[in-house]
């Protein structure tokens, strides 16, 4: 089975702490990308972002993981994202496959996306901050 690339939009983007911890030295390529029909939020009480369904565009990167490190990297990312398994109600993020626009090559690519399970977060509605620009990296660098 072919490895599925991952769309990252938060702390796993190049230049952030989780990129260094989980992806540095394991990425063959990073492609500028956007995900449509989502809304991006910053959760200051957690220190990282969330995407949920919406009508915006979320900016990020498609990460191509070196096949030699793929399984271990995906497993570590799943743990970091609180993904316990498909359809598990305890997931902090669900890992789903969505069509992502690869801006680097102007094509659509199916990627894993970590989608926030806000039903498990009582603070989300009141405390999360909507990021209208759709770019968490820009938002964090402007703070």
Query: Can 20 be counted among the known catalytic residues?
Result: no
Enter the tokens of residue 71.
């399984």
The answer to whether 48 touches 131, Cβ cutoff 8 Å, is no
Q: How many CA atoms lie within 13 A of 63 on its CB side?
A: 28
- Looking at 61, 81, 90, 127, which residue is catalytic? 81
The DSSP element (H or E) to which 67 belongs, if any, is: none
Residues involved in catalysis: 81
């Amino acid at each position: 089975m072919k490895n599925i690339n991952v769309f990252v939009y938060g702390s796993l983007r190049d230049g952030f702490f989780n990129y260094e911890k989980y992806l540095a030295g394991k990425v063959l390529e990073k492609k500028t990308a956007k995900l449509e029909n989502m809304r991006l939020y910053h959760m200051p009480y957690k220190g990282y972002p969330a995407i949920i369904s919406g009508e915006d565009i979320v900016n990020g990167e498609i990460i191509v993981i070196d096949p030699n490190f793929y399984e271990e990297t995906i497993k570590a990312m799943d743990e970091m994202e609180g993904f316990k398994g498909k359809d598990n109600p305890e997931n902090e993020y669900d890992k789903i496959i969505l069509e992502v626009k690869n801006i680097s090559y102007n094509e659509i690519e199916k990627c894993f996306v970590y989608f926030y399970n806000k039903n498990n977060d009582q603070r989300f509605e009141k405390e999360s901050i909507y990021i209208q620009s759709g770019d968490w990296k820009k938002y964090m660098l402007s703070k």
